[in-house]
Amino acid sequence: MYSSLRKKLLGQKIRELRLAKGLSQVDLGLMIGSSKSQIWALENGHTNPKLDTLCKIADALDVRVSDLISF
């Protein structure tokens, strides 16, 4: 799978899980120590998150990292 497609799918998955929890991008950013713009870039496939960031997102959304990357 192409890198850009993986980034886009990851972002869509994070957005889906964030919205299911009723969180805004600002809320998630505050929970993981990031900004709204960084969350936006991640959800729109414009950035490649580090493993540490994925772990923080998974913890904030109460899912496993594997749930974030299962698409």
Where residue 47 sits, what CATH number does that domain have?
Answer: 1.10.260.40
Q: What is the pLDDT of residue 2?
A: 77
pLDDT of residue 71: 77
Number of domains making up the chain: 1
Range of the domain at 27: 3-68
Q: How many CB atoms lie under 10 A from the CB of residue 50?
A: 9
pLDDT at 3 over 90: no
Q: What is the 3-state secondary structure (H, E, C) of 19-71?
A: HHCCCCHHHHHHHHCCCHHHHHHHHCCCCCCCHHHHHHHHHHHCCCHHHHCCC
The band of 1, judged by pLDDT with boundaries at 50, 70 and 90, is low
Q: How far apart are CA 46 and CA 32, in angstroms?
A: 18
Is it the case that residue 55 has pLDDT exceeding 70?
yes
Mean pLDDT over 35-64 rounds to: 97
Mean pLDDT of 30-43: 98
- Kind and range of the H or E element at 1? none
